[in-house]
Chains A and B, each alone.
Chain A
Amino acid sequence: MTLPVVKGASYILVQAPSTLFQYGSTQTQTRQKDPNAEYLKQIPGHLRSFEACVGYAPNQAYIGNLLPDELGNIAEPWYDNPVADASRFGAQGEIMPEDEFLGLVKMYDSFDLVKLTQEFTELVKAKLKIHPIFKDKDLKALSEGVEFNEIDELVNKHVADGLYFEHKLIGCVKQAHDTDPNLNAHVMLENSMTKASGILALLNLGRLGYDITDIEYVIEASEEACGDVNQRGGGNFAKAMAEGAGCVNASGCDVRSFCAAPAHALINAASLVKAGVYQKVAVIAGGAVAKLGMNGKDHIAKGVPLLEDCLGAFAILITANDGESPIIRTDLVGRHTVGTGSSPQAVITSLVTDPLDRGNLKITDIDRYSVEMQNPEITKPAGAGNVPEANYKMIAALGVKRGDLERAEIMNFVEKHGMPGYAPTQGHIPSGVPFIGPALKLMKAGQIQRAMIIGKGSLFLGRMTNLFDGTSFVMERNAGIIEEAAAGQDDTALKTMVADAMRQLAEILLKED
């Protein structure tokens, strides 16, 4: 039996300010109530440029150009202190501007629902031509575009939702059915964007040097649902994304558990690899259109730019043990059970100390905890505080209650075992997974030994249960031993011993004869 390892990771941001304005849920709900609301009028003045988005330090950390710890050296507010040599391409991903992304939405449209104008198609084709991932044959899917009037008519007839760039109508996503609410234009737009961003994450794994054509299974872990009137969440985003990215040997499925889904999906992927069902599994997720500008009202009221202007996505590659990549310890998995209860103490015990106790590890044996890594510059003005810091304090406080730490050491623990939050508030995106990429780098360099990845989800939002959810696992530096080979040697030795014993017995029997 092999140990599963984290082989690679890619992280994607798509800056989508026009989509934020049109389709973020805070904006659509405000518009529904009052199309002339003051808040909507203020939005354009609070959006940032693509350059500002790329130079934003947390975004550079998310795509792997900065380590999370390095954010501590950058003066706050980070939005006023851009990274000088920032690049849209990162050591572990990329930041894509909205025009290129709308091109991708068209390129991966399987049912001819997406229309772009001829002028915009030309512009996007020229930009994607110089993108390191896309080849001329990929760009053929952009076709030649259609007349603006065709798009304008579809949008005015309310059979399509407009696509905008720099607030100008440049395309649309048509409804996929005239009466099915699950295939209406808005749902199709959201799902098409989730799909395109997930594909981009998979393709970036390829750009970073991993062969994605031999991935056998893809697990998708976003928070959207695709289906029709008879099966609202039928799925399978995973297979659609694998198809788009050219993973011809992959099948897949979707895993859902609100923000906890990525951690569940990674445990599933690691288990499939450990059991030998598959050798190479990708866990991926696309972004959430609805969450764009979610806390925009608070941000504008407090003079903060609209920092929730990015869709987030990721792809993590789990493979059989290669003797060098970090191991996922499937024996050190934490889970919030139905009977755990909802007090923070019970939750942290189930997710953190229960698995550590199983491995005879102390809270301080984990070098870094990756919790809900939301960027505090986004959450603090919205009244949600510094989420990662609160999580670290909870882990430390539980350590105090268990006698692992002195109460005076709480802030030292936060400093040493935590890190600043840097992920966009896209729900499943900040939940534990952002640190897998940096942990891979740090563990390979021998700088840290263990990390714990924790995912938490608010199941009660679906109104099927009042329960909360969470799961966690330990990621550990590879000791460099590949078990299969070791197991093979053990088998040979055993067989030799048995054969020797049989031979000796035969000799004794012969002598007795």
Chain B
Amino acid sequence: MDLEIQARIKELSEKHGAENLVIILGGAEAEASGLACETVTNGDPTFAGPLAGVQLGLLCYHIFEPEVKDLIDPVVYDEQVSMMEMVLDVEEIIAEVSQYRNQYCQFL
């Protein structure tokens, strides 16, 4: 995950409280999405950014996951996201992201 984005997430969680933050991912690939989820829950596994060793334990979902998808107006979802459901490996992405969420999220 981009170092600047890590810094912004850290700052936002300090300002609003980690329990009040939800991270929505839009990554196109399972491994990268999983890595992003790991970063905002268990800390930056590459130890390169501001979240290295920082376990924020944030709630984190990919936009494809039903917990998030069901909250979105279906017309908007169809316009903005549905095409990509045909393109990307939805199941693999969800499996990867939920694995890290279930393991490290502190607000489930």
Q: Which residues of A contact B (CB under 8 A)?
A: 341, 343-346, 348, 383-385, 390, 393-394, 396-398, 400-401, 407, 410
Contact = CB atoms under 8 A, between A and B. Distances in A.
B83 A344 contact: yes
A396 B87 CA distance: 9
Given A343-B79, A345-B79, A397 B28 contact: no
Interface stretch (B10-18, B29-37, B54-62): B29-37
A300 B63 CA distance: 32
A119 B83 CA distance: 60
A345 B80 contact: yes
Contacts of B32: 383-384
Contact of A394 (B31, B80, B84): B84
Nearest to B87: A393
Q: Is the interface of B mostly helix, strand, loop or mixed?
A: helix
Interface string B22-56: 00000011011001000000000000000000000
A398 B79 CA distance: 11
Q: Is the interface of A mostly helix, strand, loop or mixed?
A: helix
Given A383-B32, A384-B29, A385-B29, A343 B86 contact: no
Contacts of B29: 383-385
Given A383-B29, A384-B29, A385-B29, A343 B87 contact: no
A407 B80 contact: no
B72 interface: no
B5 to A, nearest CB: 12
B7 interface: no
B34 to A, nearest CB: 10
B83 A397 contact: yes
Nearest to A345: B83
B28 A343 contact: no
B53 to A, nearest CB: 17
Given A345-B80, A383-B29, A394 B87 contact: yes
Closest 3 CB pairs of A and B: A397-B86, A393-B87, A343-B80
A344 B88 CA distance: 12
